[in-house]
Structure formats: structure tokens, C-alpha cells
Structure 1
Amino acid sequence: MSKMQLTLTILQPSLINFFSSFTNGTITVGLPIIATSLNLQRSLYLWPSSVYGLTTGAMLLIAGSVADILGSRPVELSGIFLLSIFTLMCGFSQSGVQLVVFRALQGVAMAMHLPAAVAIIAAAVPPGRARNVGFGCLGLSQPLGFSFGMVVSGIMIERAGWRSGFWLSGAAILVAAAASCWTIPKVKASSEDRNAQGTVKKLWNEVDWVGGSIASGGVAILAYVLAMISADLTAIRSTMNASLLALSLALLIAFPLWMHYRERKGQPALVPNSLWKNLPFASTCLMVAISNGYMNSMELFSSLYFQEIQKNSTLITSLYLLPNLMVGVFINLSVGIFVHRLPARWLVAISSLLCSLAPLMMALVKPEWRYWYMELWAQVFAPMSGDVLFTVGLIIVSDNFPEKTQALAGAVFNTVAQFGTSLGVGICQVVALGVMGPNMDSGSDASSHGATASNINDMLKGYRAGFWTMFASMVLCGLIAIVGLRQAGKVGLKKD
């Protein structure tokens, strides 16, 4: 492939990631205004944000397995066209329920795109610096789009309304999808059958539908319960939520047992249990989950802190979050270029420990202090771990899967990331709500004009508890890197 073809191959999925994540940033910074505009029910307040990750995480493994058989190109094209349609429909939503439904469908379409994008780059871009940069751009595009969405949406919401963010993203994805018909290279599928009957038979026999359903069900149900609890701590007392929590844990325990059964029968397994004996692989998955949970929690809590504790406008909040965006861009580009020159162990460990300084500063800062005393530096350090770990982690995970199952490798990586996001955000919100007390079932109540000084003080204590939780998680991530990646050496090296 020429340099132009390589560039377009990397640029296309990165643009899709960027504009899809842009809408997540719009939801995060504009949630109070969106909820008021659509009369969003209190029980659904957090769902426009959480349901997207729930459906994405639930469908990734199945979508990755299907993409390896049918080919990543048709799955990618189908996924991004659907993604553009559902993103546009979010902007046309007339009720909170409609927005939640379209966000859920948007997540399903994204689940088709993510593993296919990894497979396309792994198949079309040769190992070494070019592939490292490709994976780095995939990693850069998601947090970049999210942060850019938070910053730009602060302006767009005040000038053109919250719907403009979804319309802009949907139109851009639609244009990119149309261009993809020419820019996406043809990647050979594992299925060599030319007839539909042979392809269907191969899908039925080689895709672990049961294992995918078990894993997807466990992740989706757990994410649902965490979302319910994070909205109202008393929700765990309900019989339904307690039963669903037990069911999700049972499914997650059943998954490795099913993998053992598949391997013993000589049948294809989604994630062979033997992979978890590989210390760098297992450590990477754990760190990716922790880091993604931290990264999303940090951005969400910082946005709420600036708006609800310090009473800043949406625009000012977006500007306060801007350093996070700028540093994230620099780190991702740098890691993609130099990752093969540095030991992965110390690269991840040092970035995680530096990243832990961000929530530490936010936990210690006083609301009346000026922004550049500590809050500015917190936003500077915030993206360091996630942006480094995405590139390093994706290289390690993809190297542990055969070339013919790179879509599944991408699905495993993104499933771990989505699971970590749901778990991390849920835990931080539960901790914050537990400290706030029974009268504060959500930090969003602080946005009301009638909030008392006592309520604001309770919320401040809750947010600080959340930041302390994030600090502990990133210290743990750094320790895991020191122990778990000691045999990893340098990653992303060019193969002869």
C-alpha cells in the first residue's frame, strides 16, 4: 500500500471514533440542559450516557467474531452507516425515552465498528511504527473526540442548542461512511465460501454464540445494575436489582467455565482460558479496565464539579477542560511514534502514577481557589495513563491473538474497556452518593437554583470521595504495571 492508502486506512476509523465520542462529550457537558429540554424522568437521568456503553459492551464479542468470518470491511461499512443514522436520530429525539433508545442503538452500531476497525488496521498496516501509529490514532480519536465534544459543545449548546452536536456528528459520520466505500481496503475474511449457505453454516459452527451471549449478558446486566445504583443507592434493595446483580455475577463466573468446555471439545473459544495465564495479557486487560473507568469518571466529575460546586457556565467548564484535550493529543501522537523504543512496564507505570496526581489535586483543592492553582494541573495530568495504555494495551492484546482473529482481539480489548468504564464510573458514583447522604440521590440536583449551602457542602464531600477513589485506582494501576509487565519488554517492534 502507498503512504496515501495507509493514511486513509488509519484516518477513516479514527474519524468515526472521533465523531462518535464527540456525542459522548455532548451528553456529559450538556446533560442538565438536555434533561430539562426533554423532561427526562429522574429514573432515566443517567441513561443517555450509560446505555451507550452498555449496548456497545454487550455486542462487541459477537460482532468481532462475525467480522472475522464475514470480513471486517462489510461489517465496518454496515456499522458506520447505521451509526450515522442513529446519531442523527438522537438529535431529532422528542422525549427522554426516544433519546435513550437511539443512544442504545448507537452503541450497537459502534460495537460493529470497533473490532472491525482494529482488524482492518492489523491486516492492512505492516507491524512496526506504522501500525503503532495506527493503533495510537485509534486511541487518540476516542478521548480526543470526547474532550473536543465537551469543549465545543459548551459553545454550541449556548449558541445553537444541544441537538446541533448530534446533527454535526451524524452528518460527519455519514460523509465518512460514504467515503469509506472507496478508502477501506479489502481484507480477506476467514471464510472462503462464496455462497450464502456456506457462509451461514460457518457462522453457525465457528462463532461461539453461547459464550458470546454469556459474556455479553453478564456485562450488560452488571452495567445496568450499576447504572441503577449510581442513580439511587436504595435501588439495590429492590428484589429485581438484587436478583439481576446475582445473575450477572453468575454469568461472569460461567464464562470461563464455558471456555474450558469449548477448549476440551476442540471447538473455537472466544477468549481461551490459557490467555489469562499470560501475565502481560491479563495485567493489560485489568489496567485497561481500571484506566478507562478512571478516565471517564475524572472527566464526568470534573465537569460536574466546575458547574455545580463552582457554579461556572457550560462554556467556562468546557474551557477549563481544554488542557485535558491538548495534552491527550500530544501524548497519543508521541506514544504511537516512540512506544517501540521504551519498555512497556515503565511507560505504563510512570504514566499511571503521574495520572494519579490529577484526582489527588481535585480532592484537595478548595472551590474558592483560582483555577490555575491546582485545577489546571489536574486537567494536565488527567489523560496521561489512558492515552498511553490504549496504544500499549491494544498492541499487547492484538499480539496474543492470531492474525485471522484480529477483529475478535479488538472486541476483547474494547469489551474490557467498556466494562471498566461502567464499573469505574458506577463505583465512583456510588461512593460519592454514599458520602453525600440519603437526601442527595444525584449530584445533578445541585444545579437547581434552590440548592442550599448545606447541600452544596454535602456534594463537595461526595465529589472529593469520588476523586479519592480515582486516586487509589490509578496507584493500583501503576503497581499492576510494575509487576505484570516485567516480562513484556518493548512492544510494537517491527517484525522481520
Structure 2
Amino acid sequence: MPTPSEDGNASATAPTATKCDSEHTPQPQSVCEPDHRRSVVQNVVLIASVTLCMIVNTANLTGVSISLPTIGRDLHIVEDKLQWIMNAYSLSSGCLLLFFGRLADLYGRKRLFLCGCAWLGVFALGCGFAQNEITLDILRGIQGLGAAAAIPACLGILAHTFPPSTIRSIAFSTFAAGAPVGGALGNAVGGVLTQSTEKSWRSAFWFLAGMAAVCCVGGAFSIDKDEPYQLDDRRVDWLGAFLGTSGLILIVFALSDGSVAPDGWKTGYVIAILIIGVLIFALFVVWERYLERVQNGSGTRRRRWWTPPPLMNVSIWGRANGKLGVMLIIAFLQWCGFLSFSFWITLYYQNYAGLSPILTMVRLLPMNVTGFLCNVVVALVVGRVDLVILIVIGTTFTAVANLLFAVIDPAAPYWAFGFPATILAVFGADFVFAAGTLFVAKVCLPHEQSVGGALFNTLTQVGAAFGTAISTIVFNAGLTKASRKYGVEVHGSVANAPRPAQLVAYKDAMWAGFAFPLCGAILALLFLRGVGVVGHKTGPKVVDSDATTNEKTVSHPWPTLLLVYQAVEDR
């Protein structure tokens, strides 16, 4: 493992990350090829288990999303607050990825995987018994902790188990396909169970609990027992985890609740929560920067018992002359637009168009089929096409999908607006995720690989919550304004709003969803020019922090993103 110099750069003579070389680079057992031979059955079960985990994670969003109108009617939840059933899960799972990635490094990935899957299952079971809005929101928020623990562990498990080979390519490709498969399965199962079973939406949660249990059984049987890394400093930044998570939760809560509070945005607690959230998150950034300077030995600062390694090096945002920071912002904006689209299209079909959950599911299936095909396309072209082209195409297509619903004619057939929108929406999610993670792996320093990947995933998860929160504000404002033209006062619910006013509100929300990815495309055109192709046929490389043309082959104690990259290139 290369020893970073005082300025954070890795040694130029570091060996490759594709194999263990004890003569040159002593590495922990957990990053080397396993000592024993695995059976074909074990390999198949392992790949199936981690892929099923990704499917469960995605289905917990899409399967619940399609059940939202039914949940709202059953538990008497007004439409503007339904978003918290989605946001609570996304926010808790997204904000804690960095934290649980650190725990996986310290205490072992198999342990985190099994605990995370068990946690997902137990609280999915609890969600199925919830009797009111508050209980369901809290359980969903707690359930998200399981995904935050399991998903980072999955990639590390695959990297540890399979050395560079055909089976590694199969393993990583299968895992990546778990997201669109989970989306399709969530829509299908959620729609069918919600409409066809006596327990309605509760059956969908119980089905997800059963799937999580299968993950636990398969993982316990097939995953090797790995040893935690022998790191110099094994402490956890508990304070940073608390500050970052609580700050983001308070900010998004204020954004979500401001438009429906008793006095709107003038409500005292909304203003207080927003200010406190911003201050806490700013304090998180300051604290992480301080810990980074302490760890680097900057100035007269010395390491003490209360200065553990930071969860996030703030300087990582400046890698590649700031292009990494731009890429992270684009990922955030893309998921704001994509999840906003997914949220409102479901409500439009069921609450405005009056379609059943099953008919809604059928109309959303093209999204999942296209998502799977996009993963294949990215794997084939990412080593040949400029990063800017992939990012601009993806974000523009997602923006156009929102635009089609922003100008939709309800009397027009599904094939005129709905079908092309569902086809285009997922291009941004797949293109930005695949190309973005490869770019992160390319420009991050060796000891920042896991942090960079976790940070990318964190911003996508938080972007999902932020996008639905902002679009809900726009929806409520449009609904109120349009209803007043018909002499009707509404307060966050479409129940008493005239149908023309409802249509205006849905279109306004889609305009907000259109703006997010469009801004991402503009940022890519302005600031990512010159990046070039992020895939290479000669193997994974990492450029230095100044993004010069001098590239170095490196090894890393958890080369997850490098190995994902190599698995794609090996194909």
C-alpha cells in the first residue's frame, strides 16, 4: 500500500491494485485473493445475495412509491406529506454512507452486510404494521440505516472475493443490474400486492422483509469471513457523523414542512429549524476540515484522543482542479430531477388520471427496462466516449422527460407523452452514475477512493430527498394559486382542489424537476470540458490532485471503485 506523502500524494512507484505483492506492498488479507478455493455454488449464492440486496434497496423506493396514494387514503395523509415516506428512507440511508463505509473498514464487511440486511427486514416488517403517519415515517427513517450499512459492504465483498477474471466482471455487472431490476420488481410487486391483497400496501412491506431475510441467509452461507484492515488509526468520527446527518435532516425537514406549516414560511419553528440545520452542517464542514489538517500534520496541530480521522476530507472537492466537486454537484442535481420525476408521475397517474396501482405499474415498466439496457450501453462506450458527452446526454434526457409532463395534454394517448418520458428519464441516472463513479476513481488519491465513492452515493441519496422537497413546495404553491382562481382555498391537499388547478400544480412540480438536470447539463458543458474518456483499456489509473497528464498505477486498502472500473473494462 503506498504511503501518502505529507501533501497527500501517493508514491509514484506504488504497485498495481489488481493483485497482492507481498514483496513490494504488504497488504491486509482482506484485499488479497482468498486462500481457499470457493465452490461454484458459493459464488453463485454470493453474487445472488449481494445483487438481491441492491434489488431490495431499490424496491424499497419504487415499491413504496407506487403504493403512496393508497397509503395516503388508508392513513389519512395529505398529499404534500406523502413525500416523507420516501424521503425518510433516502435521507437516512444517504447521509450515513460515509459513516458505515468507515465501520466496514474497521469491523468487517460481512458483519455490516448481514446486520444491514437484517435491519432492512425487521423494520420493513414494522412498517407493514404502522397505524399512522408519524409511526410510518419514523420506521422508514430507521429502516434506511440498514441500506446505508449493507450497500457499501456489497462492493467491498465482491472486490475481496473475486480476483481479476471473467467471474468478477459477471459479479459486478450483475450487481449493477440490481438497481433497474429492483425498480421493475418494486413497481410490479408493489402494484400487484397493493391492489390485489387484503392487506393492500402492508403486503408490499412484508414481501420486502422476506427478501431481506433471504439476503441474510445467502450472505451467511456464501461470504468469506474477512479480517478488518489493520489501520494506524481505527477511531470513528462520531461527532462528524452526528453533525452531518442531523444538519441535513433538519434542512430537508424545514424545506418540506415550510409550505404546509400553520403560517407557511413565516412559522417560527420552520425558520428556527432551517437556521439550526444550516449552522450544524456548516459546523460539520469546519470540523472535518480541522480533522483533516490535524491528520496531515499541518501547522502546530497534533493528533489527540479527540481528533480521529475525518469521515470526509474537505479537500477532496478540489481534486482535478475542482472538476470532482462539479461532478458531485451534477450527481446531486441529476437525482433531484430523476427522483422528483418518479415521485410525481406516480401521483399524477393515480390521483389525477385515476389509474389503479397495477395500471400505473404497467406505464412505468419502460423505465426499468431502459435502465437495464443503459447499464449495458455504458459498459460498452465508457472507454471510448468523452465524459462530457455522456453526462450532457444523460442529464438532458432526464430534463426532457420532466418537460414532457410539464406540458402534457391529459387527453393525449400514453404514447404521446408518458411513454417517451419514461424511456428518457433513466438515461441520466445510469449515465451519470456509471461515468461519475469512474471519474471519481480516476481523480481521487489512493487513500480517498472509498471516501470519494461514498460521497458520490451520499449526494445522489440526499439529492433524491432534496428534489422531492423542493418540487413539493412548488406543487403546493401552484395548487394554492390556481385554486384561488376558482374561488377555492386549499391547504396542501388536492382533495378539494378543482381538477384544472390540480393539473397546473402537477405541471409546476414537473417544471421544477426539469430545472435540476438542465442545470447539471450546463455545469458539465462549462466545467468538465477537457476531462476526456474516463475508461481505459490498459487498466485503472489514478491521476494526481492537479489533474495533470501524469498518471500513476496505485494500490489501495479498499479499491472498490477501481475494481468496479476494471470489471467493466474486462468485459
- Matched with 1:270 is 311
Q: Could you tell me which of 274, 284, 289 is aligned with 1:260?
A: 289
The answer to whether structure 1 residue 113 and structure 2 residue 150 are counterparts is: yes
The answer to whether structure 1 residue 159 and structure 2 residue 200 are counterparts is: no
- Matched with 1:171 is 210
Distance 1:128 1:396 in 2: 23
- Matched with 1:300 is 343
Distance 2:529 2:162 in 1: 28
Quote the offset at 1:59 in angstroms.
2.6
Deviations 1:116-155 (A, max 9, x none): 2233344445579977776665554335423432233222
Quote the offset at 1:63 in angstroms.
1.5
Equivalences for 1:50-69 in 2 at 5 Å?
50-69=87-106
Distance 1:292 1:233 in 2: 30
Quote the offset at 1:171 in angstroms.
0.6
- Matched with 1:334 is 377
Quote the offset at 1:264 in angstroms.
2.1
Q: Could you tell me which of 248, 251, 267 is aligned with 2:277?
A: 248
Deviates more, 1:311-320 or 1:230-239: 230-239
* Alpha carbons 1:129, 1:340 under 8 Å: kept: no
The answer to whether structure 1 residue 150 and structure 2 residue 193 are counterparts is: no
* Alpha carbons 2:256, 2:470 under 8 Å: kept: no
> Residues 323 and 464 from structure 1, CA distance in 2 versus in 1: closer, same or farther, beyond 3 angstroms?
same
Q: Could you tell me which of 458, 476, 479 is aligned with 1:433?
A: 476
Quote the offset at 1:479 in angstroms.
2.0
> Residues 400 and 76 from structure 1, CA distance in 2 versus in 1: closer, same or farther, beyond 3 angstroms?
farther
Deviations 1:359-395 (A, max 9, x none): 1111112111111112211111111101121222223
Q: Could you tell me which of 228, 244, 252 is aligned with 1:223?
A: 252
Distance 2:259 2:163 in 1: 44
Deviates more, 1:162-171 or 1:232-241: 232-241
- Matched with 1:196 is none
Deviations 1:451-477 (A, max 9, x none): 45xx22112112112212222222211
Deviates more, 1:310-319 or 1:241-250: 310-319
Quote the offset at 1:231 in angstroms.
5.0
Deviates more, 1:102-111 or 1:121-130: 121-130
> Residues 145 and 81 from structure 1, CA distance in 2 versus in 1: closer, same or farther, beyond 3 angstroms?
same
Deviates more, 1:320-329 or 1:137-146: 137-146
* Alpha carbons 2:45, 2:218 under 8 Å: kept: no
TM-score (norm: length of structure 1) = 0.87
Distance 2:393 2:274 in 1: 35
Identity %: 25
Quote the offset at 1:408 in angstroms.
3.9
Quote the offset at 1:115 in angstroms.
2.1
Q: Which runs of 5+ in 2 are unaligned?
A: 1-32, 296-307, 482-488, 541-552, 554-571
Quote the offset at 1:170 in angstroms.
0.9
Equivalences for 1:191-206 in 2 at 5 Å?
191=230, 203=234, 206=235
* Alpha carbons 1:324, 1:379 under 8 Å: kept: yes
- Matched with 1:456 is 499
> Residues 212 and 402 from structure 1, CA distance in 2 versus in 1: closer, same or farther, beyond 3 angstroms?
farther
- Matched with 1:199 is none
- Matched with 2:55 is 18
- Matched with 2:219 is 180
Match for 1:380: what amino acid? Answer: I
Distance 1:39 1:469 in 2: 27
For the pair shown, which has the larger CA radius of gyration, 1 or 2? 2
What is the total number of aligned residue pairs between the two structures?
479
- Matched with 1:80 is 117
Instruction: Tell me the SS of whatever aligns to 2:412.
Output: coil
* Alpha carbons 1:135, 1:336 under 8 Å: kept: no
Distance 1:480 1:3 in 2: 48
Instruction: Tell me the SS of whatever aligns to 1:108.
Output: helix
The answer to whether structure 1 residue 358 and structure 2 residue 401 are counterparts is: yes
Whose helix fraction is larger, Structure 1's or Structure 2's? 1
Distance 1:33 1:259 in 2: 43
* Alpha carbons 1:118, 1:410 under 8 Å: kept: no
> Residues 492 and 76 from structure 1, CA distance in 2 versus in 1: closer, same or farther, beyond 3 angstroms?
farther
- Matched with 1:33 is 70
Q: CA RMSD in A?
A: 2.9
The answer to whether structure 1 residue 370 and structure 2 residue 413 are counterparts is: yes
Deviations 1:175-197 (A, max 9, x none): 1211101322444422379xxxx
